Amino acid sequence: MKKLDFIHLHEMEFYGYHGVLPEENKIGQRFRVSLSLAVDLAGAGRTDDLELTVNYADVFGLVRDVVEGEPVKLIETVAERIAKRVLAAFPGKVSGCRVRVLKPDPPIPGHYRGVEVDITRGRFS
Is 84 among the catalytic positions?
no
Phi, psi values for residue 91, rounded to 5°: -65, -30
* Residue in 3, 26, 93, 103 annotated catalytic: 103
Contact criterion met (CB below 8 Å) for 117 and 101: yes
Provide the residue type at 81 as one letter: R
Going by C-alpha positions, the residue among 95, 99, 79 that lies closest to residue 87 is: 95
Distance CA 25, CA 23 (A): 5
Q: By C-alpha distance, which of 63, 65, 73 is closest to 33?
A: 63
Active-site residue list: 103
